[in-house]
Amino acid sequence: FTDYLDTGLFLDHRLTRRYVADLAKGTRFLNLFAYTGTATVHAVGGGAASSTTIDMSRTYLEWAKRNLALNDLAGPQHGFVQADCRAWLQEQSSSARRYDLMFIDPPTHSRSKRMADDFDVQRDHVRLLGLAAALLAPGGAIVFSNNYTRFKLDADALSAFEIRDLTRETLPRDFARNPRIHSCYLLRARA
């Protein structure tokens, strides 16, 4: 078989997207490693005031734009950026722009030629979340997820956050036979 089928939708994240929608009302939403923008669609559908959707792939960003438009949610308050998410976070660190809600679902590993160096979610998640925290508005939240089956969140290194493990409540019943299909956490900066 040489055909590649890409549905544009991660089925194991159905409840995660619903959770994002429930948190989104009135927020400035940031979706990193956005893929086809389904988390953005849910956030905007849930009432996000604005959104920024970032992915390295032009193809997936175009798909994300179409997904918003197909759901009658497109508008000038919803931006799309083709960039390496880590590099973009570093560039934005001195910006005044802040986000109330972020969804971060990075790949387990990436070696793209468009990135300065490779990415490993286990090794790099603390730095990634630290960069994201610099853009988090007071009282804001990060929904962080990944699909590395042996992932262990470094809670000690992330002690600046209040952390809630959402893995069980974001796992649909039809994925119960594989409870390690994703890990999911809610992080809020400690006051």
Residue 188, pLDDT above cutoff 90: yes
Amino acid type, 1: F
Q: How far apart are CA 184 and CA 168, in angstroms?
A: 8
Alpha carbon 140 to its chain centroid, in Å, reads 14
pLDDT reported for residue 156: 97
Q: What is the pTM of this model?
A: 0.92
Query: CA dist 174 to 8, 97, 181, Å?
Result: 19, 39, 11
Amino acid type, 185: Y
pLDDT reported for residue 125: 96
Helix H or strand E encompassing 183: strand 183-189
Rg (CA), the chain: 16
Tokens of 168: 């069980």
In this structure, are residues 170 and 184 in contact, taking their beta carbons and an 8 Å threshold? yes
Q: How confident is the model at residue 111 (pLDDT cuts 50, 70, 90)?
A: low
In this structure, are residues 32 and 56 in contact, taking their beta carbons and an 8 Å threshold? no
Over range 111-117, report the average pLDDT.
63
Residue 175, pLDDT above cutoff 90: no
Over range 12-17, report the average pLDDT.
90
Share of the chain above pLDDT 90, in %: 77
Residue 115, pLDDT above cutoff 60: no
Question: Which domains does the chain show, CATH number per domain?
Answer: 11-152+166-189 (3.40.50.150)
In this structure, are residues 88 and 128 in contact, taking their beta carbons and an 8 Å threshold? no
Q: Between the ranges 146-150, 151-155, 169-173, where is the mean pLDDT highest?
A: 151-155
